[in-house]
Structure 1
Amino acid sequence: MTDFTAYEVKKLLSITAAQPRLLSLKNHFSTSTPAMSQNNNADFKLDKLFDVKGKVALITGGGSGIGLMATQALAVNGAKVYIVGRTEEKLERVAEVYGKDIAGEIIPIAADISKKDEIKKLVEHIKSREKCLCILFNNAGISINTQQTEAKSAEEMSANLFDDENETFEMWTDTYRTNVPQLYFMTTAFLPLLQAAHQHNDNFSGTVINNSSISGIVKTSQHHFAYNASKAAAIHLTSMLANEITQNGLRIRVNSVAPGVFPSEMTASESDDKQKSHIPREKYAEKVPASRPGEDRDMANAILFLATNQYLNGQTVAVDGGYILSAGSGP
């Protein structure tokens, strides 16, 4: 039997005690995973890459347009989707038409998200039914007034823009109120439920998607200064929220989608009996490099990407058929 000195015994005990800590550090900093050490082809299947099955989502303005496109994209692929708006009839119609024979659910809730009390009630309602909120799509928005911006003189331009009786401080305030503050108040109100998404869904961070617009990126006013200014604010607000949430160590991602021209009640002025809007393809044949307006599946692709990509945070994804390329972006 080998005899050890007191020094050698102390050294052996020290090494033995350190082994669990060294193993823990190795596992923490290791760049390899079990999936990387073997054939992981299954992880590249579409149902894995864009998996929203069983996820809980809430979409504002889900009764038509881009909100409805997002609702279908998520619900058809297995998510439980709460759609929120002020017109209960529209929401009920969406659930009736698009909620049948799908993997997920569409659940309508009438609420006015321009009021903090209503948002608080909405949070409590979701909290009473769900353990968490996985996906929040802040989609509701408005555009009130358009203007003639082209002019041949300073006098004509001033008359077009300043003397327009529909262009008022109240109109600017109403546009901003709908398009910007609701993103802030909805996101901050739902933070606890969004954070809980990570606890109840392995390797899935709660995610917020703000519907901004390429109108907040391009340098042209597109004949509506107030709308474009509000959408630029929405994009910057997205960045600030993403930063502050990350700085506080929360597992919540915040991004925005910036659509180009898509059919909606805002761009087409109306919806049909199935809550869908239509824009003639030829109308944008010369205005967009893609030679057409956006289609439902174009937006559905983007929403699924934003919702499921766990490495995307603080970004604005433009889905515009190349419109920004032709119009040019601002600073």
Structure 2
Amino acid sequence: MSVRSLFDLTGRSALITGGSKGIGKTLARAFAECGANVCITARNEDELKSATEEIAQGLGSRVIYRVCDMADRAAVDAMAIDVLQEFQGIDILINNAGTNRPELLAETNDTTWDEVLELNFTACMRLARHVVPDMKEKQWGRIIHLSSVMALASNPGRGLYSGTKAALIGMAKAHALELGPHGITVNCICPGPIATDLPMSLLNEEQKQRFAERTALKRWGKTIDMVGPALLLGSDAGAYITGTTILADGGLTCRTFD
């Protein structure tokens, strides 16, 4: 097998949540460029339509979208069943959708807790549960959860976000052991500071600069920086990598203290 063929995803199908913008959209284009048929999901149909057209431009791969609120269990189940039927199976699942609602412990309310837990963690499990039977039948599958560097270190007010992202890492390890005998790998990617809409809207300019300065590379990451880890874990190139977490944080966690 040639090195090039290790990354060839021709004939594979991928489901990428949160795919209308940011990391999800960039990954969708990358997987489509490698030959996979791709379905992206998000809540905003206008954004999905635009992203689908942009991702598919100039490629032979099939790119479709499905509107889905990942915090709605019935919607998640219906979407998964629909895409499985449309593609006759899903080979690669990338759980990228997520949200961050900073609240101090004393201010955390049950509604926020339930919504973030549902979106960031429970929906990931539900989608994995849907795609695994087909993966087992094929004896090939790739499940990738987008966790976060905030799963390994945190800040005040980020207990809910960090908790859900850390939970993905623990779940991936257990599922890797369970599914490994069936040719299915399960891994996490922990992005560091990536310049997407979510952190850019939450942080002020001083905070943004502080994040950049704490990385070894002295900059915020770009969405394209996540393509290498994702393609490695989502293809035959990563066939012997499972139950692990790839840190793509620009060296943020190298530092001990100043």
TM-score normalised by the chain length of structure 2: 0.88
CA contact (8 A) 2:142 2:184 kept: yes
Residues 155-304 of structure 1 correspond to what in structure 2 (within 5 A)?
A: 162=106, 164=107, 167-198=108-139, 205-218=140-153, 220-221=154-155, 223-246=157-180, 249-269=181-201, 284-304=211-231
Gaps of 5+ in 1: 1-41, 148-160, 199-204, 271-279
Assess, with a 3 A threshold, how the Cα gap between structure 1 residues 235 and 327 changes in structure 2: closer, same or farther. farther
Q: 2:72 maps to which residue?
A: 115
Question: Considering only aligned residues, what root-mean-square deviation do their CA atoms show, in Å?
Answer: 2.3
1:126 aligns with 2:83: yes
What is the CA distance between 1:236 and its match in structure 2?
0.8
Q: How far apart are 1:53 and its partner, in Å?
A: 2.3
How far, CA to CA, are the matches of 1:298 and 1:80 in structure 2? 22
Change over 3 Å in CA distance of 1:294–1:134 after alignment to 2: same
After superposition, the Cα gap between the structure-2 partners of 1:327 and 1:96, relative to the gap in structure 1 and judged at 3 Å, is farther
Contact 2:32 2:59 survives alignment (8 Å):
yes
Amino acid at match of 2:242: N
Quick check: 1:325 aligned with 2:257?
Answer: no
Shift of the 225–282 alpha-carbon distance from structure 1 to 2, 3 Å rule, reads closer
Distance 1:120 1:173, change over 3 A: closer
Amino acid at match of 2:149: I
Whether the 8 Å contact between 2:194 and 2:221 is mirrored in structure 1 is: yes
* Paired residue type of 1:311: Y
Once the two structures are superposed, residues 257-315 of structure 1 have per-residue CA deviations (whole angstroms, 9 ceiling, x without a partner) of: 11111122211239xxxxxxxxx996644121111111232111111011111111111
103 and 197 in structure 1: CA distance in 2 versus 1, 3 angstrom threshold? farther
Alignment of 1:303-322 (within 5 A): 303-308=230-235, 309-322=238-251
Aligned residues: 251
Q: Select 2:62's aligned residue among 89, 95, 105.
A: 105
Q: What is the distance in 2 between the residues matched to 1:214 and 1:140?
A: 16
* 1:21-36 alignment, distance < 5 Å: none
Separation of aligned partners in 1, 2:255 and 2:117: 26
TM-score (norm 1): 0.70
CA distance in 1, matches of 2:40, 2:65: 5
